[in-house]
Amino acid sequence: MDLEFNKNEDTMKMAWSQVKRHLEKIYEGGGKKSAAKQKERNKLTARERITYLCDADKPFVEIGAFAGFDMYPDEGGCPAGGTVSGIGYVSGRQCVIVANDQTVKAGAWFPITGKKNLRMQEIAMENKLPVIYLVDSAGVFLPMQDEIFPDKEHFGRIFRNNAKMSAMGITQIAAVMGACVAGGAYLPIMSDETLMVEGNGSIYLAGPYLVKAAIGEDIDSETLGGADTHNSISGIADYKFKTEEACLDQVKKIMNKLGHHTKAGFDRVDAKPPAKNNGEVYGIMSAGNTKPYDMVDLINCIADKDSFDQFKEDYGKTIVCGYARVDGWAVGIVANQRLIVKSKKGEMQLGGVIYNDSADKAARFIMNCNQKRIPLVFLQDVTGFMVGSRSEHSGIIKDGAKLVNAVANSVVPKITIIVGNSYGAGNYAMCGKAYDPRFIYAWPTAKIAVMGGEQAAKTMLQIQVATLKNKGEVITPEVEQELLKKLIDRYDSQTTPFYAGARLWIDAIIDPAETRKMISEGIAAADHNPDIAEFKTGVFQV
């Protein structure tokens, strides 16, 4: 391996190391003192519950670990959005798990908590996966109730989804291991089966203090809505247990007996290791992603050896398309190309820009994958569509619309990995969040924005300087540079994967070396849903 590769490798590993440092802090939840209080009450933390519940020999893919990251400084933060969630295996069955983190504001729901829980339910519904709720929450975070309570995508949507999922035949199991109050009390009761832990688990619409204030009744929490009450009097709960471990053991038993449903039937054979060593993926991209690289090299770190067959290899070179296998699964790959190529007109860097012919090729390939029921994998490193008179006169908007149309109407599962840039309409055409990928992940090197930081800052600077001059202010070159730096810094801070992860524009920031695993687990989840609609592209200009 050459010096350049080693530099690239060091830079990527340092970027991933920064992600891990943030994750270590996130994993502490509300802090060590709050975790210690859980222990005093014979309670496990949310992460300990998930670890105990899940099969040790199977992967757990955490979703939304960065939810709420740096979003609520005035409220003391909301690590992981106050919940720990993901896709794991319980008794050999792949399922969605959502666990309230009681160490974070007593498990109260912030606006991002609601968004994260809705995302997990969306995953369950799209892929027809069973859901296990590990309930331990004080309900809505009252100081922000206006941002979590009344709207369509707010708190109430969760219970609507409970009902919809039940009608879809999706198993839902709720283990109540702590508080479950107010509107949140409907979640376990709208699940198929409800389990409670004695002494800690409680379910009621109004707690003892509110009951006293409302009707003057004096009553303790256990008598009002504890495990004994709901198992022997109200009949709301189905099981009660003295310990959390016993409760979780019963969840495992329930999952072990679930019937098996028809699957989508995506093709899978015995997996082969990639042609390139998995670790080589670290050394492909340069620091800052400023130099060209061959996307095929990256694909060869992910795809099974000798499985990648390029589609229209010599046409539309700014997008690489081809059939491959990832961990044995058949996939169609659509990836931006950053290579320098030689043509009759000389050398040209394919800097992640989508040209007319590339858009045309990718649209056709996506149609083929839908025709063949092959899941799609998008590898994003895109700066947008080509601009200028030549492209406009050639109909770049028309060809771009054709690609967007194909992506939007695609019915096979789509998994998006943002490895580098994700700018402007290129984000849309390469299946960004707005285009319903089943799963969307980002490398530590990802940048998501309407355009690059410097270009955007210079555009905003022109407007800002013109405004100041109209007010009669004198703008020196030094002042202009200072303004430009502030604009670039502010804009760049909003393009990081941390910013995107905090707002759930992506499901997770992943280790590049685990890209193959994430794709494989995503298709395994998607394979649970056999309902694939007929592919129709709608109207577009040819």
Q: Which H, E and C letters describe 362-394, residue by residue?
A: HHHHHHHHHHHCCCEEEEEEECEECCCHHHHHC
Nearest to 268 by CA among 311, 299, 302, 307: 307
Number of other residues whose CB lies within 10 A of the CB of residue 506:
28
Which tokens go with 297?
């090299």
Give the whole-angstrom CA distance, residue 518 versus residue 521. 5
Backbone angles phi, psi at 24, to 5 degrees: -60, -40
Which segments within 345-498 are labelled E, that is strand?
Answer: 346-349, 353-354, 376-382, 384-385, 414-423, 439-442, 447-449
Question: Per residue of the chain (542 residues), what is the pLDDT tens digit?
Answer: 589 999 999 999 999 999 999 999 999 999 999 999 999 999 999 999 999 999 999 999 999 999 999 999 999 999 999 999 999 999 999 999 999 999 999 898 899 999 999 999 999 999 999 999 999 998 888 788 888 888 888 888 999 999 999 999 999 999 999 999 877 788 999 999 999 999 999 999 888 888 889 999 999 889 999 999 999 999 999 999 999 999 999 999 999 999 998 999 999 999 999 999 888 999 999 998 989 999 999 999 999 999 999 999 999 999 999 999 999 999 999 999 987 666 555 555 566 889 999 999 999 999 999 999 999 999 999 988 877 788 777 768 888 889 999 999 999 999 999 999 999 889 999 999 999 999 999 999 999 988 766 666 677 777 887 787 788 877 788 877 877 777 777 777 889 999 999 999 999 999 999 999 999 999 999 999 999 999 988 776 66
User: In whole angstroms, what separates CA 424 from the centre of its chain?
Assistant: 20
Residue 191 structure tokens: 């699940």
Render 164-201 in DSSP notation, one character per residue.
HHHHTT--EEEEEEEEEEGGGGHHHHTSSEEEEETTT-
CB distance 51 to 89 below 8 Å: no
At residue 261, what is the residue type? H
**In the prediction, which pLDDT does 350 show?**
61
pLDDT of 345: 57
